[in-house]
C-alpha cells in the first residue's frame, strides 16, 4: 500500500483500548480482532449469548443486551479510548452516537486504498453532502483528518462531467458550477484543491482527498472500489467529534485495519 497505511501502522499504539461491536458470531471477525492486538487493546461488545464464543479466542468481552448503546456509552464515558462499530447495526449505532453527543447529523470520511492510491473519500453516507456548503465542510474535516495522521492533504473535487461538457445537460452544469464553487472556497481557505470534474481516475493519482458530488455518488464510488474491485477499506471515522469512532462496512470480513486506524487516531489525540 502507501503512505496512509504506513502512517496508521506507525501511529497505532498497542496500549490504546478500542471497543469493537459484534452482534453475530463470525470467525473471521473474531480472528481479525485477535490479530489487531498488535495495534490496540481490544474489548468486544456483544450480546451475552456470544460472550463464550468470543472468550474462546482469548479476547476480553463486555456483554450487553443492547450492545450498540453499550458501545457508545463506553466511548462517551471514556471507559475506552476509541470505538469501532464492527457488525452492529449501522442505523441503531450511529443514532445512539448522535444522541449521546447531541449531533444534528453524522459526517464520515472513508479512508481506503485501491490500485491507483490511497485517499479519504467523502461524502459516503447517502444523506450526507447535499449542499456545496456541506461538501466544503467535509473536505476541510477530511483534510484535517489526514493532517492529524501526518499526511499533507490535497483535495480533488468531483462533479458530473468533464469541464468541457458544460452545456450538454442542465443537471451536469449544476454539478460543474458547484464543483467550481467548492474548489474555489477551499483554495480561498488555504487548502490545495482542484475541481477535477468527473475524472476520478486522474483525481486519485494527484489528490488524497476526494469529494464526491453528493453522498449517493460517494457511496457508489466506495461500493464499486471496495466490493467489486478489491479496494482496501481502513474505516470511516466520524468527523468533528471529540471522541474517536470508526465506522465500518457490513461487507468487511476483517476489522484489523479499522482497529489500527482507531488506535492511531486515539494515540495522536492522547499525545503518544
| One pLDDT digit (tens) per residue for the chain, 272 residues | 478 999 999 999 999 999 999 998 889 999 999 999 999 999 999 999 999 999 999 999 999 999 999 999 999 999 999 999 999 999 999 999 999 999 999 999 999 998 778 999 999 999 999 999 999 999 999 999 999 999 999 999 999 999 888 889 999 999 999 999 999 999 999 999 999 999 999 999 999 999 999 999 999 999 999 988 888 999 999 999 999 999 998 778 899 999 999 999 999 999 98
Name the residue range of residue 89's domain: 3-103+241-270
> Do 250 and 102 meet the contact criterion of CB atoms below 8 Å apart?
no
- Supply the pLDDT for residue 116: 75
46 and 99 belong to one structural domain: yes
What does the pLDDT look like over 150-164, one tens digit per residue? 999 999 999 999 988
Look at strands 110-114 and 232-237 and give their pairing. Answer: antiparallel
Domain count, the chain: 2
Alpha-carbon distances, residue 250 vs 18, 23, 37, 169, 226 (angstroms): 19, 12, 22, 36, 11
Alpha-carbon distances, residue 130 vs 5, 22, 123, 195, 238 (angstroms): 30, 31, 9, 17, 17
Q: Classify residue 236: in a domain, yes or no.
A: no
3-class SS string, 68-115: HHHHHHHHHCCCCCEEECCCCCHHHHHHHHHHHCCCCCCCECEEEEEC
152 and 127 belong to one structural domain: yes
Q: Classify residue 160: in a domain, yes or no.
A: yes
Alpha-carbon distances, residue 79 vs 15, 17, 70, 173, 236 (angstroms): 14, 9, 11, 50, 22
The enclosing domain of 260 has a CATH number of 3.40.50.10950
Q: Classify residue 223: in a domain, yes or no.
A: yes
Q: Say whether pTM exceeds 0.85.
A: yes
| Exposure string for 40-73, b = 16+ CB within 10 A, e = fewer | bbbbbbbbeebbebbeeeebebbbbeebbbbbbb
- Supply the pLDDT for residue 67: 97
Q: Classify residue 234: in a domain, yes or no.
A: no
Residue 55 DSSP one-character state? H
What does the pLDDT look like over 88-142, one tens digit per residue? 999 999 999 999 999 999 999 999 998 778 999 999 999 999 999 999 999 999 9
Nearest to 50 by CA among 72, 70, 26, 74: 26
Q: CA-to-CA distance for 156 and 146, rounded, in angstroms?
A: 14
Amino acid at each position: 500500500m502507501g503512505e496512509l497505511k504506513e502512517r496508521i501502522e506507525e501511529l497505532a499504539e498497542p496500549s490504546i483500548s478500542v471497543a469493537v461491536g459484534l452482534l453475530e458470531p463470525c470467525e473471521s471477525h473474531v480472528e481479525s480482532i485477535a490479530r489487531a492486538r498488535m495495534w490496540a487493546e481490544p474489548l468486544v461488545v456483544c450480546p451475552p449469548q456470544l460472550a463464550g464464543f468470543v472468550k474462546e479466542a482469548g479476547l476480553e468481552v463486555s456483554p450487553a443486551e443492547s450492545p450498540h448503546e453499550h458501545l457508545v456509552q463506553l466511548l462517551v464515558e471514556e471507559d475506552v479510548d476509541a470505538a469501532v462499530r464492527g457488525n452492529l447495526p449501522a442505523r441503531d449505532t450511529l443514532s445512539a452516537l448522535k444522541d449521546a453527543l447531541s449531533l444534528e447529523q453524522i459526517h464520515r470520511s472513508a479512508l481506503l486504498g485501491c490500485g491507483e492510491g490511497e485517499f479519504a473519500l467523502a461524502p459516503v453516507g447517502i444523506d450526507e453532502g447535499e449542499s456545496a456548503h456541506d461538501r466544503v465542510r467535509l473536505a476541510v474535516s477530511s483534510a484535517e483528518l489526514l493532517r492529524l495522521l501526518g499526511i499533507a492533504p490535497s483535495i480533488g473535487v468531483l462533479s458530473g462531467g468533464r469541464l468541457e461538457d458544460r452545456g450538454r445537460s442542465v443537471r451536469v452544469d449544476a454539478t460543474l458550477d458547484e464543483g467550481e464553487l467548492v474548489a474555489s472556497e477551499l483554495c480561498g481557505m488555504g487548502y490545495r484543491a482542484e475541481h477535477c470534474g468527473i475524472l476520478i481516475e486522474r483525481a486519485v493519482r494527484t489528490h488524497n482527498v476526494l469529494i464526491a458530488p453528493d453522498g449517493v455518488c460517494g457511496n457508489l464510488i466506495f461500493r464499486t472500489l471496495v466490493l467489486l474491485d478489491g479496494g482496501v477499506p481502513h474505516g470511516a471515522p466520524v468527523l468533528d467529534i471529540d471522541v474517536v469512532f470508526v465506522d465500518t462496512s457490513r461487507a468487511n470480513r476483517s476489522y484489523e485495519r479499522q482497529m489500527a486506524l482507531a488506535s492511531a487516531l486515539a494515540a495522536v489525540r492522547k499525545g503518544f
